[in-house]
Structure 1
């Protein structure tokens, strides 16, 4: 490789613990305990014990995708990438609707510098779930590595090409372990100082001027009207309460819209389900709105049973826009998938409609 094309560090995000995958098949508490035990052994580095427990479980449940995914994780952590590749490849063949095995397969290929294979695996993950944020991020890293290799080859062929070194420098800078990018999660951002609500100024009632001495006339002096007393300003607490009331009502409206969308989905009510999406909804990939609706109808109506449960719903509202983040537990026939979901909504008339949907 040309000296200007130094190895580019690449670190794709793998789903190292099965809780992130959410493939648990609805099989009761006993299986959930098995998954939890193996997960805990992986977390504590007891890979041999985790492997033994996983193998025992798979001896009687050989097709269980959750434990097989865990087995692939154990093989990866144990330094057996070829075995892990075989495990994840089998999962993609038997459960092609699941994007997570494709993602981890891509990570393994990238670790072996097989970036074209990594790209293909990530394309499958994104095709399976166009809203899979982790796969999109990893795809960007793979493309960056492929670009680095291409620029290095360009320099080998033409060492005097002045256009290439700056591009290589940009890619290296992008992946350099600078302090600002050393960790994904930064320290807690200090909260912005709370807005100070000035106290209502004290109301001073001017003292009434002494009435002038009456002029001695036969007629009595006309009575003087008392000076008007200004009404006191509302207390700051009351003003805050009044301002918070509309925001609370809007959040409740958004929450109701999200739950109605989930209910229409699990009821397979295509009319209400599709009506939950605004005309500006960003369809995944390059699908037209008509093609996306046809695909959703085929997937939803093709299931004999669907359940969509929402938990940890968090809604933020800014004007006529809102963001809803929550955990989604989806089950259809024999498949259960748990994921983090984000919906972007816009208020249209008296309705909140979805304009963007993402997972992860």
Structure 2
């Protein structure tokens, strides 16, 4: 009987200690989001908490965010990478690491991370907007130099996430974080300089938000790919423009080398180009291939037209890429 009592006391004690730790972390979160405590003090409190719960997703994420805000960017980057490795289904660390990489001009890697974040939870409008901005930034800086920008010449600033959404909390099985996502600062309303496109609304079925619809997710990624393609064309950024085509793409009766040579000449000949895309209709042929019809408005210093165009895209390791492109009819 005494043994049972002692065992019960030990279990109960452990339960109350665990509850106390959870309350401590909720207090840290509250102070962080309300701005009631300085970064140094918060970081110290988070470190103390992690001594007792070293694998807590929310605490690790908050520590990375605090390191970032304290301008310890290298340490924050290392920690974000560790979190991604441990919790690959959580979109927030992908997003914030991408923001750090953009600071160092690593747009290509940031693009890859944001695409992975979109695949985990396409409901995140912040991730969607950031990815669109990266596409545009890549398009506005031609010939590969855009991928290694100096810090003083960053064309875009990405929004970071301050906290963890309830969706991510469910995925990581951590009940200590229940706060909704919050964005630091104001997200820039970036518009394409020469391209007129409208971002699609990202919607998840209310039936089960923890399981995003793959077709809707793929559709969003396809539209973002086409936005980047149009932006690259508008900026006459040929090397970035070619990124949006599959490695084996070439028009009928023409080799890829000949096609690229011709496209370089055509893209660079006018003094300026403006590409507008609208009425994007996506139909999936298979899980990894889609047909898209859209209206393309082409304006340049020496020519202009408006056509309905058909494209086929294939999902590759690098994202959705164009494998076929043809004009259907000219619109007056």
TM-score (norm 1): 0.37
Larger radius of gyration: 1
State the structure with bigger RCO (CA 8 A, min sep 6), 1 or 2.
1
